[in-house]
Amino acid sequence: MIGVANLSTVRQTIASCERCSRLRRYCERIAREKRAAFRNDTYWGKPVPGFGDPNARIAIVGLAPAAHGANRTGRNFTGDGAGGSGDFLMAALHATGLANQPFSRSADDGLELGDAWIMAAVRCAPPANKPTPQEIAACHPHLRAEIDALPNVRVLVALGRVAYHACWRLVAERHESRLRADGRWPKTRPPFEHGGVTRLPGAPSIVAAYHPSRQNTNTGRLTPSMLRRAFQLAARELQT
């Protein structure tokens, strides 16, 4: 119950954040102007907290909310249309036993995650889906706070390069000095590559995966079997 209370506080802090004026102005404008298909919807239009199982051992980190997806629905990887990144991700999670259904269309669609929590490196939808390095850094404390409120996390699944770097920063903040003292911190950070797994003593494992953006899925750079494999690797890490 302590973790649940902490997560509630973290959620409120994230949703009320005003650190990045460029992102806040963009999200608010999108929420006012809306897309024609969603003109009758009330957009969330605020920074988006994570969601899932508070007892999760697997934390999934994406890039940022989509302007008419999570910025509209208030839930990560939700509402970007049939065949969008949300459905692509949930199909993989459902196939590996981490979600109760293979789609993510709205915040009240009945989706439940088991042993998994989904969050993003950046909590506001960025113009052209490209946050600046300064905006990524400004949002990092929210990622850290959310992870700190998930006491059972043992594996970080990084969806894309930005998320991968954010996960590495989390691990470094908690474990680098200890592992350097023991001579067990890597001399260089392993390169980002789909399916790569990094294990450091006493720290969460990091599983790297391509982000399920339409650009990656429509071109075949990321296939359903490739993403399922990433979550199978994450599940395997729980057995070590």
Torsion angle, CA of 167/20/69/144, rounded to 10 degrees?
30
Distances (CA, A) of 144 to 79, 96, 210: 26, 26, 22
Q: Please check the confidence at residue 7 and state whether its pLDDT lies above 50.
A: yes
pLDDT at 5: 52
Tens-digit pLDDT profile for residues 29-65:
999 999 999 999 999 999 999 999 999 999 999 999 9
Rg (CA), the chain: 17
pTM: 0.96
Q: What is the average per-residue pLDDT within 167-190?
A: 95
List of domains in the chain: 2-237 (3.40.470.10)
Show the DSSP H helices in 51-103 as ranges: 70-73, 85-95
